[in-house]
Structure 1
Amino acid sequence: NNSASLIAALAIIPAIFSLTGSSQEAIQALQAGNQGLSFIVIPQLFNKLPGAQILIAIFFLALFFAALSSLIAMLELATRMFMDFGLSRKRALPLVALLGAVMGIPSAYSMDFFNNQDWVWGMGLILSGSFFTFAVIKKGVAQFREKYLLVAHNDIQVGVWYNWVMKFLIPVEAACLLFWWFYRTWDATGWWHLTSIYSLGTCLWQWGGLILVLVLLNKQLYRLVTQER
């Protein structure tokens, strides 16, 4: 999935610059956002090529399977979490699907809400990765690598370089990425606006709310997981 996404980006972005009339038009196309780029700009570009209808059909079919494979992975991860809390798979999977459908309703009705959640939790992936890295460092990177990565069924045996990457490179990269994105969206007159689609304030209050809930429930969640195991 990730490899296909990288290949698609390497193909689509140069194609936009090649098929548009000028660099300014290409930049405007790229600024159309994910939805505008996928459903408006790219079909318009395909119309300039021979066999446009076939290419558009193949593109959206590939897009559908990419989204489906990502959805399966997300459902599986959440299902595993509920199974850790003691639910059977037969109960956990429908519950996760129902919660996902209900929580997705606001995004389906409001593009502003969708873009806000895409922004906040897309950035939140960097934050969650940072927490994971901190947990691995606290537990011991060498111990983590030996227990979870250097196992018999793994095709790739991770070397000692992994310890240095986890301890130093990933924390620096995470900090630089967060700083860069916040710098790009910084607005001195309204960064604290909680209802803004793209702002530092909307990220901080949603992240802070989730972290507060998890901290308050930490002991109960830990008890459930350890009892199940």
Structure 2
Amino acid sequence: IVAIDVLRGFALLGILVANITLFDLDGFDAVEQSFEDLVIGSAGAPFMVVLLIFVLNKMMAVFSMLFGAGVLLVTERIEARGESAFGVHYVRNVLLAGIGLAHSALWFGDVLLIYGLSALFLYPLRRLAARTLLVAGTAVWLFAACVGDPVAEYVVRAPAMMLVGMGLYRLGVINAGRDAAWYRMATRRSFAMGLPLCSVAWVFLEDQEDLALLVNNLGVPFMALGYV
């Protein structure tokens, strides 16, 4: 639990950093335009490079993984007492979706509604094998990365990483169930695959923004695994 809480705090800090750049925007089209208007030689370019490579979508992916793991953690604890987790799970997440619905009226970047609604579909999937969860989550993420619509991508990628998080929880990865040597190896391999993709995305940013976001999103799961 401590490991999950530490990771959650780390992810929330990263999400805050990413959202600072979005607070004065009023929609997904404005987000895309802000990338298109970025001049490589501008004073803000170094910050945007770091944001694109290390933060954008990565921290949200980490947080989504932890949300999925949390679904299993809470339901397993309740069921270990011989009780049904159905009521607790659905009441909590319907309330979360309600809060998100209200918040979405204030800011286009709300994720609570997406998280609350996604969780409603996670409950019947909680007993799937780890491999099935990982494959399903990866497939949904790839679909979201390639769909080409920023709104659809924004909605779909959260439940995708929730499924991955559930799979990693089943494998004992996200809940500190492996030894330190395993985590060091996994971190090196994940960043070795994710960093090149997310770095190359910056090369395309000025002239081919759609391609940049696609390449970045392909690298996101690897970067998120590296952080986990």
TM value normalised by structure 2: 0.30
For CA contacts below 8 A with separation 6 or more, give which structure has more relative contact order.
Answer: 2
